[in-house]
């Protein structure tokens, strides 16, 4: 997902529904990006923070306990999503309104439907990844 979004050290990668934090941590380790994970499960936020410390990137990533639908995504230059179609559909208006032109959105598995087809779709080891750029 990060490769497809062409993440660089200038990016701020937001992972909405960040789970164990692997995407923001990898963005910091591999690309030097800053990362933010938004996760509703407090146990996973604590685990993510521990994982960031173990990976020596805690100064480049932050994990926030919160609802991804209420998250302020305006600082993001890349947003990664591994969500079900209904959640993507509900989140789309916020992403289109709050992200700046040039920001990239990458989803795993599902897309936003026929009203906003992806610019690119790839099969990565049997997993479908989609990419959009805010215009």
The pLDDT assigned to 116 comes to 95
Helix (H), strand (E) counts: the chain: 3, 7
- Rounded-to-integer distance, Cα 117 and Cα 44, Å: 32
For the chain, percent of residues with pLDDT exceeding 70: 100
68 within 8 A of 17, measured Cβ to Cβ: yes
Cα separations in angstroms, 133 against 4, 7, 9, 11, 105: 11, 13, 18, 14, 6
Give the list of residues 6+ apart from residue 108 with CB closer than 8 angstroms, or none. 1, 80, 81, 82, 127, 128, 129
Buried b or exposed e, range 103-121, using 16+ CB within 10 angstroms? bbbbbeebbbeeeeebeee
pLDDT digits (tens, 9 = 90+) for 68-98: 999 999 999 999 999 999 999 999 999 999 9
Mean pLDDT over residues 7-29, rounded?
A: 98
The residues spanned by each domain of the chain are 12-133
CATH topology of domain 12-133: Rossmann fold (3.40.50)
DSSP state of 100: P
Q: What does the alpha-carbon distance between residue 87 and residue 105 come to, in Å, rounded to a whole number?
A: 14
pLDDT of residue 16: 98
- Beta carbons within 10 angstroms of residue 14's beta carbon: 30
Q: What was the pLDDT predicted at 71? A: 96
pTM tops 0.85, yes or no: yes
Render pLDDT for 31-74 as a digit per residue (tens, 0 to 9).
999 999 999 999 999 999 999 999 999 999 999 999 999 999 99
């Amino acid at each position: 997902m990060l490769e497809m979004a062409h993440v660089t050290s200038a990016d701020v990668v937001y992972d909405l529904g960040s789970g164990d934090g692997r995407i923001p941590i990898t963005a910091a380790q591999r690309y030097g990006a800053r990362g933010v994970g938004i996760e509703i499960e407090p146990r996973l936020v604590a685990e993510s923070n521990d994982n960031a410390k173990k990976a020596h990137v805690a100064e480049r990533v932050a994990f926030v306990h919160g609802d991804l639908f209420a998250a302020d995504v305006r600082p993001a230059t890349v947003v990664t999503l591994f969500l079900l179609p209904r959640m993507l559909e509900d989140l789309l208006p916020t992403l289109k309104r709050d992200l700046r032109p040039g920001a990239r959105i990458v989803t795993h598995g599902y897309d936003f439907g026929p009203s906003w087809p992806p610019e690119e779709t790839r099969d990565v080891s049997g997993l479908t990844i989609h990419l959009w750029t805010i215009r």
